[in-house]
Amino acid sequence: MNWLQRVMYGRHGADQLSLFLMGLYMVLYVMAGLLGVEPLRWFGLVFLVLAAFRTLSRNHEKRSAENAKFTMLLRPLLQWIKYQRTVRRDKEHRYFKCPNCGQQLRAPRGKGRIHVTCRTCGVSFEENT
């Protein structure tokens, strides 16, 4: 274990982008095995080599900038997934968007047709719950 610490000293290490690239390699490897497409396996190997390069790199600034750009691109998708999970778990409320500004609003279920005022833009509208 001590040898691994010496090898990794001063290296960038694994981050979200490196882990994503490794996961992408695994998906392509499994798909290549199931479909019997050998070039897909070699194409996936490119992602594994890139992930290893990023993990063992000593250029922290460049790798951190790449990871920051990746997380900024991924943020809307992760926020959408989190929102969908919240909506699916919350059975007591109905979620909808304001027709004017697009703000996400919620109201208790089972109240029938209610009058809603958006807190962001102040627009009033009716919605079924």
Q: Are 129 and 115 in contact (CB under 8 A)?
A: no
Q: How many domains does the chain have?
A: 2
Whether residues 51 and 101 fall in one domain: no
Q: What is the pTM of this model?
A: 0.66
The angle at the Cα of 11, spanning 7 to 15, to the nearest 5 degrees, equals 120
Whether residues 119 and 76 fall in one domain: no
For residue 18, pLDDT over 90 is answered with yes
Range of the domain at 7: 2-89
Instruction: Tell me the per-residue pLDDT of 59-112, one tens digit each, with 9 for 90 and over.
Output: 889 999 999 999 999 999 999 999 999 989 998 999 988 888 888 888 888 888
Q: Are 96 and 108 in contact (CB under 8 A)?
A: no
